[in-house]
Amino acid sequence: MSAKKPSTHVMWTDPDDAPELNEVFFKKADQYKGAQLKPRGRPKAAVTKEPVKLRLDADVLAALRASGDGWQTRINDTLRASLKLAARL
């Protein structure tokens, strides 16, 4: 047959078969602030970080990763401190 299939699966057609509007439904529902859709998830930071590709020696990278979680943040702090030190020289 060459009949066209519906593009979406029909969940229900009878209004009496509509899903119940319970607490679970409203937890998943979109939220609006006025007419604007409120985005879900973590809010955007005022200052965002930029991903970069940095080539490091294998032993340096291994030592940094071995220092535990937050090693990338510690690298960022170390680089920032070195920039401040260089600016004073």
Q: What pLDDT was estimated at residue 41?
A: 83
**Reported pTM:** 0.49
Per the domain annotation, does 41 fall within a domain?
Answer: no
Per the domain annotation, does 75 fall within a domain?
Answer: yes
Structural domain total, the chain: 1
Domain boundaries, position 81: 54-89
Please state, in angstroms and as integers, the Cα–Cα distance from residue 15 to each residue in 8, 19, 22, 55, following that order: 18, 9, 16, 60
What span, in angstroms and rounded, lies between the C-alpha atoms of 17 and 54? 56
Per the domain annotation, does 62 fall within a domain?
Answer: yes
Instruction: Decide if 64 contacts 75 (C-beta within 8 A).
Output: yes
Q: What pLDDT was estimated at residue 22?
A: 87
Q: What pLDDT was estimated at residue 1?
A: 57
pLDDT digits (tens, 9 = 90+) for 17-65: 777 888 888 877 888 888 888 888 888 888 888 999 999 999 999 999 9
Q: What pLDDT was estimated at residue 12?
A: 64
71: exposed, middle or buried (C-beta count within 10 Å: 0-12, 13-18, 19+)?
middle
Per the domain annotation, does 83 fall within a domain?
Answer: yes
